[in-house]
A and B are shown apart, each in its own frame.
Chain A
Amino acid sequence: MQKKSMENSKRTTAIITYAALILGSVIMIFPFAWMILTSSKTVSESMQIPPTIFPSRLMADNFSEALKSLPFINMYANTILMIIFRVIFAVLFSSMAGYAFAKLKFKGKNLLFSIVLMQMMLPSQIFIIPQYQMVAKLGFANSVAALVFPGLVSAFGTFFLRQAYLGIPDEVGEAAYLDGCNQWQTFTKIMFPLTRSSVAALTVFTAVFAYSDLMWPLVVNSDLKMMTLSSGLATLRGQFSTNFPVLMAGSLLAMLPMVIIYLIFQRQFIEGIAMTGGK
């Protein structure tokens, strides 16, 4: 008798759990679905009352309209180049500094590390006006280099990879040293490969952050041809304030590459973000 009621309550819990998860998923997916559906409608179709759910036919017009009004090829290229360079710099410099802060003894280490911590605690906007002035003064506004500029070094990456190196026992490095490796060889041949999962996490974090960033690309690259996907979309907003099908097509074009990469590497993405959580 008691067993039966327990089984029943277990079943109720399971039903509630699934119902809640499915309801949540619908809410999460709906905006994306609505974006896809609207992107194929004509303007008059999108403004029908009561609304139609499905477009009457699959239509590429809105996409070609979006492609005509924004230099998407340039935007893709700028975004990809910005991400690649930011990732390379973040991984390279942060690995070196993270290793040194974790494993090497040198005078003033704590003082230098406090600079890293200070940068992490301050919001990036406090640096943005002087950073922009530097770019303007050196005359490389409206370039990929300008997009990469604030990401040349990564305080967060340094902090994060230092944690990874702290997790490796000192004996590993000492053994390599006794085998005749110098400090640099110990780092590149032995230690760096051991931080692979942290480097992957930092890569994902840096890429997603750079891709989402809006203010810096807006400020530093005003030329439409030098915009990123994010900042380019921001200009589309003003251009087609009432033509939502074209706006949806443009947004979809901007989102699609990252979403596809995410769906392929979802485990690395989610675990990477979970690992870097705290920033």
Chain B
Amino acid sequence: MKRGKISAAAKEEQLWGYLMVAPTIIGLLILNVWPFIQTIYASFCEHLGFGHYKFIGLDNYINMFQNTDFWKATGNTLLFCILTVPVGIFLSLLVAILLNARVKFKGGFRTIFFLPMVCAPAAVTMVWRWIFNSEYGILNQIFGSHIAWVTDPHVVLISCSIVAIWSAIGYDAVLLLSGLQNISKSYYEASSIDGAGKITQFFKITLPMISPTLFVTMIMRLMTSLKVYDLIYMMVEETNPALTSVQSLIYLFYRESFVAGSRGSGSAIAVWTVLIIGVATIFQFIGQKKWVNYEV
């Protein structure tokens, strides 16, 4: 009798479990799982218009791998990550360390560094275009230079990287700061007594203790950078002659799928991007064993 009652309660619990996850799971199946399968299928198809597809095997991939713009976009995306992630993380760690020191107006500084985070990239990029303007932009005026920041194919990726780093510093610094604040002061006090200087303390205490946070921040930043689109889209319009020197994979995906309307090859680019992100993640997780310290 008692046993039956318990299992009735367990049954009820199970029912509630299904009811409560139902909206999310049904939503994910319709909005994500099914679209994911469709995108993979579409990457082997030609889009005939109005959502109709014809299976063409590997043609999209073969065309894609023969397309120089595609390889350029892959290279641009990777180069963008190389330019932004290490420098951005380094500067963010620097800001976090400065904010972790005993300074006045800490909250004020934090608010300022974080500000770009709440501004739509579309709006922020607009002012950077103006700052970078080759004829009247303030940057060239200050340095007396004549650099075509946004139209020179050799420079434009660097310009976009500067904006990306500027936009992300505050966000990454806040994440790293919360890691720094978790380090117990007693480690520093003990090592001071032992005569360790600031630099020794940084490498022997701060860096190992913060390495898990640093790893998460870095992985996150890398993911975001591999998917970069809005900033470059706003900075470099399709008529800009330097477009192919800066266009990222997702930008190419957008143009292919929604401007040119070839959703089959667009899907192939999306699948390729997912593969790159997967490989990058695996490398990061293998690499972390060498430097991330989970002992503490």
B234 engages A234 (CB within 8 Å): yes
A100 engages B20 (CB within 8 Å): yes
> Which residues of B20-38 are within 8 A (CB) of A?
20-21, 23-25, 27-36, 38
Does chain A have a CB within 8 A of B194?
no
Chain A residues positioned under 8 Å from B177 (CB to CB):
274
A97 engages B23 (CB within 8 Å): yes
A277 engages B112 (CB within 8 Å): no
The minimal Cβ–Cβ distance linking A223 to chain B, given in whole angstroms, is 15
Does chain A have a CB within 8 A of B122?
yes
Asked whether A31 and B39 contact (CB < 8 A) given A136-B51, A152-B31, the answer is no
Chain A residues positioned under 8 Å from B118 (CB to CB):
208, 211, 258-259, 261-262, 269
Asked whether A153 and B229 contact (CB < 8 A) given A29-B112, A212-B121, the answer is no
Chain A residues positioned under 8 Å from B127 (CB to CB):
31-32, 34-35, 38, 248, 251
Does chain B have a CB within 8 A of A247?
yes
Asked whether A219 and B258 contact (CB < 8 A) given A51-B136, A96-B21, A237-B234, the answer is yes
Total chain A interface residues with beta-carbon distance under 8 A: 100
Chain B residues positioned under 8 Å from A197 (CB to CB):
none
Taking a contact as CB atoms closer than 8 A, the residue among A13, A25, A47, A130 that contacts B39 in the complex is A130
Chain A residues positioned under 8 Å from B56 (CB to CB):
none
B271 engages A131 (CB within 8 Å): no
B27 engages A248 (CB within 8 Å): no
Instruction: Name the residue on A nearest B25 (C-beta).
Output: A112
Chain A residues positioned under 8 Å from B120 (CB to CB):
211-212, 214, 229-230, 233, 254-255, 258
The stretch among A14-22, A54-62, A139-147 that forms the contact with chain B is A14-22
What 0/1 pattern do residues 90 to 108 of B give for CB contact below 8 A with A? 0000110011010100010
> Which residues of B86-139 are within 8 A (CB) of A?
94-95, 98-99, 101, 103, 107, 109-124, 126-131, 133, 135-136, 138
Does chain A have a CB within 8 A of B205?
no
Does chain B have a CB within 8 A of A160?
no
Does chain A have a CB within 8 A of B273?
yes
> Which residues of A18-58 are within 8 A (CB) of B?
18, 20-21, 24-25, 27-29, 31-32, 34-35, 38, 46-51
A122 engages B113 (CB within 8 Å): no
CA A27 to CA B17, docked complex, whole Å: 51
A93 engages B23 (CB within 8 Å): yes
A46 engages B136 (CB within 8 Å): yes
Taking a contact as CB atoms closer than 8 A, the residue among A101, A131, A214 that contacts B122 in the complex is A214
Taking a contact as CB atoms closer than 8 A, the residue among A35, A187, A250 that contacts B20 in the complex is A187
Instruction: Name the residue on B nearest A234 (C-beta).
Output: B122
Chain B residues positioned under 8 Å from A109 (CB to CB):
17
B216 engages A278 (CB within 8 Å): yes
Does chain B have a CB within 8 A of A99?
yes
Contacts from A to B (Cβ < 8 Å): 13-14, 17-18, 20-21, 24-25, 27-29, 31-32, 34-35, 38, 46-51, 93-94, 96-97, 99-101, 104-107, 109, 112, 115-116, 118-119, 122-123, 125-134, 136-137, 149-150, 152-155, 158, 182-184, 187, 208, 211-212, 214-215, 218-219, 229-231, 233-234, 237-238, 244, 247-248, 250-252, 254-255, 258-259, 261-263, 266-267, 269-270, 273-274, 277-279
Pick the 7 closest A-B CB pairs, nearest first. A153-B27, A106-B17, A130-B35, A100-B20, A97-B24, A104-B17, A183-B16
Enumerate 12 A-B pairs (CB-CB under 8 Å) in ascending A order.
Answer: A17-B103, A21-B99, A96-B21, A101-B21, A105-B13, A115-B29, A237-B234, A251-B122, A262-B118, A267-B107, A273-B174, A278-B220
